[in-house]
Amino acid sequence: MIAEIALAMLWLAAALAVLQLVLGSYALTVRGAEFLPAVRPIAVVQGVLVAIAFALLIVLFLRTDLSVKLVAANSHSLKPIIYKVAGAWGNHEGSMLLWVTVMGMAGGFVALLERRLNERTMVATLAGQAFVSLGFYAFMLFSSNPFERLNPAPAEGNGLNPLLQDPGLAFHPPTLYIGYVGLSIAFSFAIGALITRDVGPAFARAMRPWVMGAWIFLTLGITAGSWWAYYELGWGGWWFWDPVENASLMPWLAATALLHSVSVLATRNALKAWTVMLAVVAFSMSMVGTFLVRSGILTSVHAFAVDPERGSFILALLAIYIGGALALFGLRASTVTEGARFHLFSREGALVMNNVLLVGVLGIVLMGTLYPLVTEAFDTKVSVGPPYFNPVSAIFVFPMLIIMAAGPLMRWRSDNGRKLSSLMAVPALAAAVALALVVVFAGDIGILPLLGLVFAAGLAIASVLPLWKRNLRRTPAHIYGMVIAHLGIAVALAGMASESAFNTEKLVASEFGQSHTVGPWTIELQGVKPIAGANWTALEARLVARYGDSNVQTVLNPQSRMFASPPTATNEAALLTRWNGQLYAVLGEEGDDGRWQLRLWWKPFVPLIWYGGLMIGLGGILALVGRTSRDRRRKDEPEFEPTAAPAPDPAVAGGKEALA
Amino acid sequence: MIRGLILMVLAMLAAPLAAQDSLPPAPYAYKQLDDPAQEKTAQDLMMTLRCLTCQSQSIADSDAPMAGDMRHQVRTRIAEGEDPEAIRAWLIERYGDWVSYQPQVTAMTWPLFAAPIVLLLFAALIARKRFGRARATGDKS
């Protein structure tokens, strides 16, 4: 019964989306203006209905209702409760339901909360959101129904892929999806503003919190995914430029560019067309990513739906939405004024340069991800991996880091460079010191890791310089947000460079009582014993680790687990974190001679990668909170920031251009 | 007749011997080379070779038996002093371009390498178009 109610809710929500689209479009015409106030409530109710449908799916998984096909295929009565819940979205149908749920709820929240935007633009935005949602409702209801029954019901379910049975991964997909789909709001705002020819600071201020929110979730989702790959796959890799990883990186790159350009539009009334374009591109990348993962076109751990029918459905949706948005953009581009002008050598100029470079990286990642699919169509299978992505993206990333260091220190509109050159001497010195230290103490570590460490040192110093000579108490929260996020980039970069520069690896076949050294560590294998968990059995090793000459002994317990349903073996690595790095131990198989395979790594400074990612996300949260409360305080007047060195006579310039 | 029988017996004896060197744990699948410099060269190469039976993993981070065999191949050949790129070429010849994560420049793959140049030119064009005009009008205001 629950499944049928949920399905009915889903159909109702889809019907309301149709209404939202039709009524919203009609309300925009001259005769339909009386329907304008009706659109918001429809969007709210649609969000509530689809959320109920999703909640009911979770209930079905909690009850392990095996008469529902999806539950039987992906759950198991003995699974721990957290994985029963996570099982609801750890599969194709459930994740698509999550997608439309986030989309419907985002539309509902916009309808409830956003009161500053012109009502016509708002209604056009909600109609756009309904239009995009409809495609995905159709996809769910016609080819991926999560509430399909199974008759007769099986006695037991198949279980969830054990690799996914991990607390980190349980919440990784929803985090990422909120980010992906949150960008749909930016997309709809762009469409709405194009339709009503209303691209301007008010539109940018309405869109900004949604872009920032989506970007924060994407940042945290990617960070969590990388951490999961690092410790769960048992080989200590944190990023492999795998197509599925790229699918999450591409929307992030576009959203990062959008985040900066939307701020310029909100505060400086510049970059109008570019912001609209990026909003379209960002959500398009979310859809491309979903297509890549959901269509089964890739062979990869994440791609668990292999079904060409679904692939073509998503491809059609992609063509309709991206093509439609670009066509609309083409039609209306001439009516979008360019906005306020500025010099190349200014803060806006730096932001534009970095936006272009970010889009360059996006182009490379997109090309490298899709190209193997193109050649496969011509019967040549090629692989594009780290040896391509690392150096080629570096061409764009390193100039970007320099501009990122300098940009926040520059004036708006036009900068004469005098103050900048004296301020930039400090980070340049830090970079030189880092270079000397690495060359003297580490020797040859390869060009990219070397550049990474040097740039990280320079950027770390440069990113806190915007606070220089400021009253720290009166500095607004979003400035702290920017500083922390930029510092986070430097921290993550240092971790990435260290990971490829300083790793030491040891593979051994060990007897009991035998000691091994890896880096500064001495590790003794003391024993291996069987243990059992809720739905798995495992062999667990007891390793005792000592650092350097220290007498402190730490016990590590790496496991090799066997899951019964579905039958799969996984490695649970044991990690030991010190301030200067991480010891990573994996238990392998027992050899014929009774010796145990051990894989040991000492990875100096590697946790910085994820600390950096968290800092970037935290910076985003601070900026979001700061900006939102600021926007609420001053509602209508155009906002101009007090900068360290204010641009000459901003009020006059802004007033004139806001009218233009 | 007798000779045929002897041949047959020999063949039967030889079969297990021949099978033996393809038997499971290839020595260097989970064992490092003694020379750290050679091991590093091997490791760098292994990171850029695809495990053909896995999903998006290099042979350096896979437990698949075939990845183990390929690691053994790479380490043995490096220990014999072979050049890493020669080993890559040999593997590509044997398994196709698919095996190497480092795409080779061919008639089929050149757009991959043209892409960054095109993107940079495009970026330069945008900047020029935008700021060429901005300078002219910016000075006026």
Q: Considering the domain boundaries, does residue A649 fall inside one?
A: no
Spatial separation of the C-alpha atoms in residues A477 and A465, rounded to whole Å: 16
Q: Which residues pair with A507 in a beta bridge?
A: A599
User: Considering only alpha carbons, which residue of chain A is nearest residue B32?
Assistant: A507
Domain membership of residue A473 (yes or no) is no
Q: A115: which residues sit within 8 A by CB, 6+ positions away?
A: none
* pLDDT over 90 (residue A562): no
Domain end marker among A119, A149, A165: A165
Rounded percentage of chain B residues whose pLDDT exceeds 70? 74
> What does the pLDDT read at residue A79?
81
Do A395 and B96 count as a contact with CB atoms less than 8 A apart? no
Q: Can you tell me the distance from the alpha carbon of B84 to that of B45, in angstroms, rounded to the nearest whole number?
A: 6
Find the residue in B nearest to A241 (Cα).
B56
How confident is the model over A331-352, as a mean pLDDT? Answer: 81
CA-based end-to-end distance of chain A: 59
- What is the secondary structure of A199-243 as a DSSP string? -SHHHHHHHHHHHHHHHHHHHHHHHHHHHHHHHHSSS-------H
Asked if the C-beta of B43 comes within 8 angstroms of chain A's C-beta atoms, the answer is yes
Report the pLDDT value the prediction gives residue B6, as an integer from 0 to 100.
Answer: 57
Q: Which residues contact A376 (CB under 8 A, 6 or more apart)?
A: none
Q: If we measure between CA atoms, which residue out of A431, A414, A419 comes closest to residue A468?
A: A419
Yes or no, beta carbons of B111 and A380 under 8 Å apart: no
The pLDDT value recorded for residue A443 is 80
- Domain boundary (A604, A620, A636) is at A604
A356 touches chain B (CB under 8 A): yes
B127 touching A (Cβ < 8 Å): yes
* Rounded Cα gap, residues A111 and A117, in angstroms: 11
User: Which among B32, B98, B130 has CB closest to A383?
Assistant: B98
Q: For residue A588, give the nearest of B30, B57, B127 by CB distance.
A: B30
Per-residue pLDDT band for A609 (boundaries 50, 70, 90) equals very high
Residue A193 or residue A534, greater confidence: A193
- Mean pLDDT of the region A353-367: 92
B48 vs A385: CB contact, 8 Å cut-off?
Answer: yes
* Dihedrals phi, psi of A577, to nearest 5 degrees: -100, 130
Q: With 80 as the cut, is the pLDDT of residue B12 above it? A: no
In tens, the pLDDT along A373-412 reads: 888 777 788 889 999 999 999 999 999 999 999 989 988 8
User: Is there a domain that residue A85 lies in?
Assistant: yes
pLDDT, tens digit (0-9, with 9 covering 90-100), for A302-311: 444 445 677 7
Which residues of B fall within a CB distance of 8 Å from A300? 55-56
With beta carbons under 8 A apart, name residues in chain B contacting A301.
55-56
In angstroms, what separates the C-alpha of B101 from chain A's closest C-alpha?
Answer: 5
As a three-state string, the secondary structure of B32-84 is CCCCHHHHHHHHHHHCCEECCCCCCCEHHHCCCHHHHHHHHHHHHHHHCCCCH
Q: Which of B32, B50, B97 sits opposite A507 (nearest CB)?
A: B32
B130 near A CB under 8 A: yes
Integer Cα distance of A606 and A503 in angstroms: 9
Q: How many residues does chain B have?
A: 141
Other CB atoms within 10 Å distance of the CB of residue A234: 21
- Cα(A222)–Cα(A8) distance, rounded to whole angstroms? 34
User: Rounded to whole angstroms, how far apart are CA atoms A250 and A363?
Assistant: 9
CA distances from A597 to A7, A513, A586, A591, A601 (A): 51, 14, 8, 7, 13
Residue A333 identity: A
Interface confidence (ipTM) of the complex: 0.80
Instruction: Please report residues of A whose CB lies closer than 8 A to that of B137.
Output: 341
Q: Which residues of B touch A357 (CB under 8 A)?
A: 123
Q: CA-CA distance, A214 to A615, in Å (whole number)?
A: 16
Encoded tokens for A643 = 């900068």
Average pLDDT over residues A357-372: 92
pLDDT above 70 (res B136): no
Higher confidence at residue A233 or residue B94? B94
**Rounded (5°) CA angle A39-A40-A43:** 90
Cross-chain Cβ contact B130/A653 below 8 Å: no
Contacts of B42 in chain A (CB under 8 A): none
Q: A587 to chain B, minimum CA–CA distance in Å?
A: 12
Flag whether residue A507 sits within 8 Å of chain B, measured between CB atoms: yes
Q: Which residue has the higher pLDDT, A655 or A239?
A: A239
Rounded CA gap, A76 and A361, in Å? 42
**For the segment A216-246, what is each residue's pLDDT rounded down to a tens digit?**
999 999 999 899 888 887 787 889 898 888 9
Quick one: tokens of A201? 């600071």
Mutate to test the interface with A, among B23, B28, B30, B135 (most CBs of A within 10 A): B30
Is any Cβ of chain B less than 8 angstroms from the Cβ of A378? yes
Q: What is the pLDDT of residue B21?
A: 42
Q: How many domains does one find in chain A?
A: 2
Q: Do A386 and B47 touch (CB under 8 A)?
A: yes
B-chain CB neighbours of A244 within 8 Å are 56
Using the Cα atoms of residue A154, residue A156, residue A158 and residue A160 in order, give the sign of their dihedral.
positive
Contacts of B98 in chain A (CB under 8 A): 381-383
pLDDT above 50 (res B22): no
A180 vs A284: CA distance, rounded Å: 10
**How many residues does the structure list for chain A?**
660
Tokens 């690392």 belong to residue: A390
- Put simply, the answer to whether B32 touches A378 (Cβ < 8 Å) is no
Any domain includes A590:
yes
Query: Are A382 and B98 an interchain contact pair (Cβ–Cβ within 8 Å)?
Result: yes
H or E stretch at A574: strand A574-578
Helices (H), A115-166: 119-143
* Contact (CB<8Å) B31/A509: yes
User: Could you tell me if A87 and A75 are in contact, meaning their C-beta atoms sit under 8 angstroms apart?
Assistant: yes
The CA distance from A370 to the nearest CA of chain B, in Å, is 10
Task: State whether residue A414 sits within 8 Å of chain B by CB.
Answer: yes
Task: Decide if pLDDT at A653 tops 60.
Answer: no
What are the tens digits of pLDDT across the range B24-81? Answer: 557 888 888 888 889 989 999 999 999 888 777 889 888 888 888 899 999 999 999 9
Strand partners, A569: A562
Residue of B nearest to A445 (CA): B40
Q: Which of B32, B63, B127 sits opposite A356 (nearest CB)?
A: B127
> Which amino acid makes up residue A79?
K
Rounded to the nearest integer, the mean pLDDT of chain A is: 86
String of DSSP letters for A577-628: EETTEEEEEEEEEEPTTSPEEEEEEEEETTTHHHHHHHHHHHHHHHHHHHHH
Instruction: Tell me the β-bridge partners of A73.
Output: none
B135 close contact with A: CB closer than 8 A: yes
pLDDT in tens, A414-467: 888 788 888 889 999 999 999 999 989 888 888 999 999 999 999 999 999 999
Residue A114 lies in a domain: yes
Contact B44, B34 (CB under 8 A): no
The torsion angles phi and psi of A517, rounded to 5 degrees, stand at -115, 140
> What's the number of CA atoms in the CB half-sphere (13 Å) around residue A273?
15
A505: which strand partners? A601
**Contact status, residue A291 vs residue A271, Cβ threshold 8 Å:** no
Structural domain boundaries enclosing A537: 509-604
Which of B108, B111, B112 is facing A388, going by the closest CB pair? B112
**Chosen from B28, B56, B131 to mutate, greatest number of chain A CBs within 10 A:** B56
Say how far apart CA A461 and CA A456 lie, in whole Å: 9
Q: Which of B25, B100, B123 sits opposite A591 (nearest CB)?
A: B25
Given a cut of 70, is residue B113 above it in pLDDT? yes
Residue B47: list chain A partners with CB under 8 A.
Answer: 386
Q: Determine the residue type at B21.
A: D
Give pLDDT tens digits for A611-640.
Answer: 999 999 999 999 999 988 887 776 555 444
Q: Output the pLDDT for position B8.
A: 55
Q: Is the pLDDT of residue B138 over 60?
A: no
Q: What is the pLDDT of residue B56?
A: 78
Distance CA B103, CA A369 (A): 12
For residues A117-129, average pLDDT:
91
Domain boundary residue among A103, A138, A165?
Answer: A165
The percent of residues above 90 in pLDDT, for chain A, comes to 46
Least confident of A47-56, A137-146, A372-381, A627-636: A627-636
| Contact residues on chain B for A356, CB-CB shorter than 8 A | 123, 126-127
- Give me the residue from A353, A364, A506 closest to B115, CB to CB: A364
CA–CA separation, A383 and A640 (whole Å): 49
Find the closest chain A residue to B45 by CA distance. Answer: A387
| Chain A from 217 to 256: CB within 8 A of any B CB | 233-237, 240, 242-244
- Residue A370: CB atoms within 10 Å: 15
A633 domain residue, yes or no:
no
B76 touches chain A (CB under 8 A): no
Q: What is the pLDDT of residue B5?
A: 55
Rounded to an integer, what distance in angstroms lies between the CA atom of residue B96 and that of residue B99? 6
Flag whether pLDDT at A294 surpasses 90: no
Calpha distance A475→A481 (Å, rounded): 11
Cα B30 to the chain's mean position, in Å? 18
Residues from chain A contacting residue B99 (CB–CB below 8 Å): 383
Whole-angstrom Cα distance, residue A128 to residue A124?
6
* A601 touching chain B per CB within 8 A: no
Mean pLDDT of A100-107: 93
- φ, ψ for residue A543, nearest 5 deg: -115, 140
